[in-house]
Amino acid sequence: MKTETSMPASRIHLPKLAAVALGSLLLTACAGNPPKEQFAVTESAVRSAVSAGGPEYAAVEMRAAQEKWKEAELAMQKEDFERARILAEQAEWDARVAERKAEAAKAQKAVEDAEQGINELREEGMRNVQ
């Protein structure tokens, strides 16, 4: 008569434990790397916002982006890479908001200028009719 041998409980959980440990190790390794790609993206976003007129049209958002960018650079120097990455991401989004706000403000001004030009032409046309 053949009896089934059962695996000890410690052997059943070992692969799961190893997988969890490996996952933790990978996360730690990722957190330990400098966020170079994020820094490049953030720097580009801040420059675009400045070029779009962020300091003039979205001063609050632009200031927030620049302050977070400086904090991210300091965190990078201290090799606090996770904090540097988070601050760089926040700076990127603040810069993107500043850029969009500046673009919207310039578009609004263009519409107002066009409306003013139309009104001036109408007034001139009315004077010529009389």
| The residue type at 84 | A
List, for residues 28-48, the tens digit of each pLDDT value.
Answer: 445 589 999 999 999 999 999
List, for residues 102-113, the tens digit of each pLDDT value.
Answer: 999 999 999 999
Domains in the chain: boundaries: 32-102
Q: What is the structure's pLDDT at 92?
A: 97
Question: What predicted TM-score, i.e. pTM, was given to this entire model?
Answer: 0.68
List, for residues 57-93, the tens digit of each pLDDT value.
Answer: 999 999 999 999 999 999 999 999 999 999 999 999 9
- Select from 2.40.50.140, 3.30.300.20, 3.40.50.300, 1.20.1270.390 the CATH code of 32-102: 1.20.1270.390
* Lowest-confidence region among 51-60, 78-87, 110-119, 121-130: 121-130
- 4: number of Cβ within 10 Å: 4
- Summarize the chain as % helix, strand, coil (round to 5): 85, 0, 15
Burial 12-40 (b: 16+ CB within 10 A, else e): eeeeeeeeeeeeeeeeeeeeeeebeebbe
